[in-house]
Structure 1
């Protein structure tokens, strides 16, 4: 215990650095103009900052432009604070290629320093597929010396996603294979859709490790079962995935094919009333605490809690409780 608590000062210093980075001013985005619309509508649009955000309408053409392969939507009105990252490579079943990984890394880098972001949802803009994993057609054209760096980039990008300081939700409306499931595993919460009705999308999940799956899957469902799924490359549906703890929620798929996204959005709205600073340090405490013994984990929790004591969020929370009213958090 003495050893664990002896390093508490250093740990607090590291946590302060992380929180300071999270509090940095958000970078600007260049985008085309858009009009206001419901976040669930087919032509949904979002606003944020001084410039308009990209339109959120789906486009399922086979010739998706490179800049449209990842759609970043900052939702507004009652969903303000929720950001949706939509995979949009319909011609390649959202397979992860160099360009998409680059765009994902850039988007995540911007989100981690944006104080206005409260929750991030990862979803697909393409019906019936979440992500088919790595783009094997692109990989086949790579020189052998390029493959290692590509896999390293994929792993680094997924790690960046996992380390976002705000809650993340994967909305799996369709198949997630290999790197696609590893992407979902990097999220804090996973929601999948399932259906017994003919004609509706059935979520299917299978992992072929390469971008962290051998580490995240055992931590999620246990070592023995993770080995079984990895050794067999078995495909499981949403119901089975829920039963083994691979996903948190399974919902009946709807005719629009976006039931998992709608459930994810409802979850994200539950997070919005909570104190943003407390949410960030809670995630940090959980993530770091799960990698160490209990005594060290408790020291991490203590260091994280210490960061909330002088914040305006904590003071507002205490006042709201005393005055029996909803808190009005603004963040630090």
Structure 2
């Protein structure tokens, strides 16, 4: 499948997806549409087990396309927010792991996109923030909901109300990203992490992600019940049999993703 604003390279069960919308990789309507199409395509691709999402050039995503705002009415703005939220919700609940490799400016919609990913790695040089209040608006793609869950309500409120931008090291310190690396090592580290994950059974990966997602959408008791049901599904898989046999035989499992 061809894209105008995305670059997709598949290698060793890992899809490397780079947002390529010069000059700042802004999330315009067409880029969001392509992201959704990419998710559809890669979900069905049996050769892809993990996705690494980054930005082409010096930016991850520097925000929404402000030029598109000038043509919006109030009702249009709400529809745009709902459409963006739909895509990012899809990422958060995606059945294959998505790793954000934040290589540069990650602002507004870019940070909202990164927060929807399952794992976030950042370059020390990256800049992260939700500066929407500088434009007289608020985050609309889930930023007011996901940021407090990651860094706490107080810090999230401070970042949103002041439009504060922080670097990769500070983002790691407060729990916004999971690891930070020098820029020239970031993608290699992301690929190495993706490769380690891709060695696992795709069945177990899908079920683990579903169980983890339940921790944010259901009560603790409901989450435990969901985990038990998913554990049972994993236990009945062919890959469970292979995994147990490999453990007993002291060898590396050869999963068939069934």
- TM-score, normalising length from structure 2? 0.92
2:53 maps to 122
Q: CA RMSD in A?
A: 1.5
CA distance in 1, matches of 2:207, 2:71: 43
1:269 maps to 195
Q: Does residue 304 in structure 1 map to residue 230 in structure 2?
A: yes
Q: 2:30 aligns with which of 99, 104, 107?
A: 99
CA distance in 1, matches of 2:49, 2:178: 20
Q: Does residue 206 in structure 1 map to residue 129 in structure 2?
A: yes
CA distance in 2, matches of 1:216, 1:157: 14
Displacement of 1:287 in angstroms is 0.9
**Structure 1, 274-283 or 172-181: larger mean CA deviation:** 274-283
Secondary structure in 1 matching 2:217: coil
Q: Does residue 87 in structure 1 map to residue 10 in structure 2?
A: no
CA distance in 1, matches of 2:248, 2:16: 35
CA distance in 1, matches of 2:73, 2:221: 48
Q: Any conservation in 1 of the 2:93–2:209 contact (CA below 8 Å)?
A: no
1:72 maps to 8
* Structure 1 unmatched runs, 5+: 1-28, 32-66, 195-201
Displacement of 1:143 in angstroms is 4.7
CA distance in 2, matches of 1:81, 1:307: 23
Displacement of 1:106 in angstroms is 0.7
2:116 maps to 186
Secondary structure in 1 matching 2:111: helix
CA distance in 1, matches of 2:94, 2:71: 32
Q: Any conservation in 2 of the 1:172–1:261 contact (CA below 8 Å)?
A: no
Q: Deviations over 1:265-311 (max 9, x none)?
A: 11101112212111110111011123333322211110110111221
CA distance in 2, matches of 1:213, 1:273: 32
CA distance in 2, matches of 1:213, 1:236: 15
CA distance in 2, matches of 1:297, 1:160: 19
Larger Cα-atom Rg: 1
Q: Report 1:316-331 matches (<5 A).
A: 316-331=242-257
Displacement of 1:74 in angstroms is 1.3
2:136 maps to none
Q: Runs in 1 of length 4+ with deviation above 6 angstroms?
A: none
CA distance in 1, matches of 2:22, 2:214: 36
Displacement of 1:109 in angstroms is 1.5
Q: Any conservation in 1 of the 2:121–2:186 contact (CA below 8 Å)?
A: yes
CA distance in 1, matches of 2:239, 2:202: 8
Q: Any conservation in 2 of the 1:242–1:249 contact (CA below 8 Å)?
A: yes
2:239 maps to 313
Aligned residues: 251
Q: 1:148 aligns with which of 59, 62, 78?
A: 78
Secondary structure in 2 matching 1:151: helix
CA distance in 2, matches of 1:165, 1:278: 10
More helix by share: 2
Q: Which has the higher contact order (CA 8 A, sep 6+)?
A: 2
2:63 maps to 133
- TM-score, normalising length from structure 1? 0.72
